[in-house]
Copies of this chain bind each other. A is one copy, B any other.
Amino acid sequence: MMEISAASIGESLHDIDTPALILDLDAFERNCERLRQALAGTPINIRPHAKSHKCPEIARRQIAMGAVGICCQKVSEAQAFIEAGIQDVLISNQVVGTKKIERLCTLAKRARVSVCVDHLDNARALHDAAVAAGIRLPVLLEIDVGAHRCGVAPGAPALALAQAIKGLAGLQFKGLQAYHGGAQHLRTHDERRLAITEAVRLTRETRDLLSEHGIVCEKIAGAGTGSFLLEASSKLYSELQVGSYVFMDVDYARNDQTGSGMPEFEHSLFVLTTVMSLSGVTHAVVDAGLKASSVDSGLPVIAQRPGVHYVRASDEHGVLRIDSTIAEPLRLGQKLRLIPGHCDPTVNLYDELVALRGEHVEALWPISARGALL
């Protein structure tokens, strides 16, 4: 492990070594406040997804602003947050495999930990481990409401699994996980509204069916940054799992918000990079390639430099095309800020977040769950 840090507290933006992952604290705090305001006065809980930031310092701030806890996707991710003092973690995912389930049960003795289930074999394995550990593990039954990834089919198959879970003494049935991942990046509000309307319909029918059979859903959870106001207005969901709103990214910024009522979340997360090669006036290379800014959802975009375009990423290089009409030419060594194409996997490339107040480094926050895959 490298012990080199990109920055020191108090340092100016221009002295930060690159590539570095930087956070505009003012924009970040405005994003947090806008989410709070958007849901103020509703009975809906916020449980932000920590897969986006992997940073206990951010989780603590989210909880201080009213979040009931966090979501994680991996047991090792949950462990990093619990070791940092977070007390309530939902693993919004299936946990399959003996070693993972054992670690899950160990964590569940230290903090409030719950998990999702979508298969009877997995429910039985969780039950066995929970009984062996002397605990009852709270579970949400995940249903597929349109994302076609994990989740049992809504309706009768969900009822059958819920009944089975109710029969397993090591498990505590808490309700439904009904996240529509595919809806988050539909580009128009109408498309997102149609997708979530259908997700809500399937979830409501499943809840009602379970209720008819005496199974109460204490909690119905889901939603993301792209759609959460729709789930919030359903009067069905009780817990929202927004993640990217703290940072935003190029992919989320492509969503057309016309008619959505969505708060104006700002880009707060950037990759600071340096112009490391410059030939002619229209071609330059920066030191942040695809190991510094994940390109799975598209290339990064250069912030506040009209006429300068990030056009190609290789492992350690980003190629810039510069319009010949640009007012001020780039200089070798110049620092630029990139808006990542996709914030979650970009954060996962760094061990440290450099938190800036204006132009100065206010804090260095460990990304403690970076690489937490297990």
Question: Which A residues have a C-beta under 8 Å from some C-beta of B?
Answer: 1-2, 4, 6, 15, 17-20, 51, 73-74, 76, 79-80, 93-97, 99-100, 103, 118-119, 121-122, 144, 148-153, 181, 274-279, 283, 285, 287-288, 290-292, 294-296, 313-317, 319, 332-333, 344-345, 348-351, 368-374
Contacts and interface: CB of A to CB of B under 8 A. Distances in A.
A344 B332 contact: no
Choose among A287, A344, A349 the residue with the greatest number of B CB atoms under 10 Å from its CB: A287
Given A283-B148, A290-B294, A18 B332 contact: no
Contacts of A100: 17
A333 B97 contact: yes
Contacts of A283: 148
A247 to B, nearest CB: 14
Contact of A278 (B119, B317, B372): B119
A18 B374 contact: yes
A349 to B, nearest CB: 7
Contacts of A374: 2, 4, 6, 17-20
A315 B345 contact: yes
A119 B283 CA distance: 13
**A-B residue pairs, 6 tightest by C-beta:** A150-B277, A96-B276, A73-B316, A17-B99, A94-B276, A290-B296
A348 B79 CA distance: 22
Contacts of A79: 2, 4
Contacts of A96: 274-277, 287, 332-333
Contacts of A351: 1, 371
B94 A181 contact: no
Contacts of A97: 17-18, 274, 333
Given A51-B315, A150-B276, A350-B373, 15 more contacts: A2-B372, A4-B374, A17-B99, A17-B374, A51-B316, A96-B276, A96-B277, A119-B332, A148-B319, A181-B314, A288-B373, A290-B294, A315-B345, A348-B349, A349-B371
14 contacts: A17-B100, A18-B97, A20-B374, A51-B316, A73-B316, A94-B277, A96-B275, A96-B333, A121-B333, A148-B319, A150-B277, A291-B373, A295-B296, A296-B313
A187 to B, nearest CB: 18
Given A315-B73, A333-B96, A345-B291, A277 B51 contact: no
B119 A277 contact: yes
